[in-house]
Amino acid sequence: MKVEGRQYRTIALAEDGWSIDIIDQTALPHAFVTRRLRSLDDAAEAIRSMRVRGAPLIGATAAYGVCLALRHDASDTQLNAAIKALAETRPTAVNLAWALDRMVKTVGPASAEKRSTTAYAAAARICADDVAGCLAIAKHGARLITECWKTRGDATPIQVLTHCNAGWLATVDWGTALAGVYLAHDRGVPIHVWVDETRPRNQGAGLTAWELGQHGVPHTVVVDNAGGHLMQHGQVDMCLVGTDRTTADGDVCNKIGTYLKALAAEDNDIPFYVAAPYASIDWSGQEP
């Protein structure tokens, strides 16, 4: 996605070919700051302090954290220590454990001489898969938005309410719930987004509103409790939210306050969609 006309991803290999550049989300929306990760401790701190936020991005950062840990010591001891340290950074999104498990399965069998190279390739693949998955979500979401707009039968903007941050800042690129908003907007669908402030971290007001503004999507920040009022008064056409964890049978765990939006949407007969990337699904021992 673009920031002031320049293309960015939330996480990327730096020009030196080994360190990792991230967008420091703790500085948003007041300043746009990039930060370089050069060690396992840097990666762990970035996740723990929420310099990187959002389930898919946390997983990608953890994968690159393993890479940084193995650059000078590719032993089993170092690999196990890195996995343990990164696993303890955040207790929420399943993507963290998923990414670390994928790194262990890919990197573990490699010889010590090839582990670092294997790790960087595996982390890059995790990022590429996330972008591809989010683009697929964007296409599906844009179709739902466009159909809802056409069904309504007038030219006024479709009104979308979202919660927390499920945009490109939460992923490597594109986003989940907001990905369809961006693609629909780019395709010419008139759209307006109601943005919940989502305390205490204010991902809505601080991140969602910022990235919507960067993309040129009209939006309005509202307090969390205004969501039900807007729905009740016919000012919301559909709700789009992300998910930190989704069970195989469809139950969803997300930012506090999502439940209230779902209840209000059900009561007011408003479509409520959850964008769940594959890696957010907790299969609980089931085969996918």
CA separation for the pair 22, 8 (Å, rounded): 10
Query: Among all residues, which ones are annotated catalytic?
Result: 244
Residue 246 predicted with pLDDT over 90: no
Residues of the chain with pLDDT > 70, as a percent, come to: 95
Residue 53 predicted with pLDDT over 50: yes
Residue 266 predicted with pLDDT over 60: yes
Query: Is 159 or 285 the better-scoring residue by pLDDT?
Result: 159
Q: 234 and 259 in contact (C-beta within 8 Å)?
A: no
pLDDT value, residue 93: 67
- Mean confidence (pLDDT) of the chain: 92
Mean pLDDT of 30-50: 97
Amino acid at 29: P
CA separation for the pair 194, 265 (Å, rounded): 14
What SS3 state is found at 18? coil
Residue 243 predicted with pLDDT over 90: no
Q: Is it true that the peptide bond before 200 is cis, omega within 30 degrees of 0?
A: yes
Q: 60 and 11 in contact (C-beta within 8 Å)?
A: yes
Q: 171 and 130 in contact (C-beta within 8 Å)?
A: yes
CA separation for the pair 202, 12 (Å, rounded): 25
Q: Kindly state the helix (H) or strand (E) to which residue 11 belongs, with its residue range.
A: strand 11-13
Mean pLDDT of 63-91: 95
Mean pLDDT of 231-258: 89
pLDDT value, residue 284: 52
What SS3 state is found at 144? helix
pLDDT value, residue 73: 95
Six token digits for residue 255: 């930012």
CA separation for the pair 140, 196 (Å, rounded): 23
Locus of tokens 């650059």: 71
pTM: 0.92
Phi, psi of 245 (to 5 degrees): -150, 135
pLDDT by residue (tens digit) across 167-202? Answer: 999 999 999 999 999 999 999 999 999 999 988 888
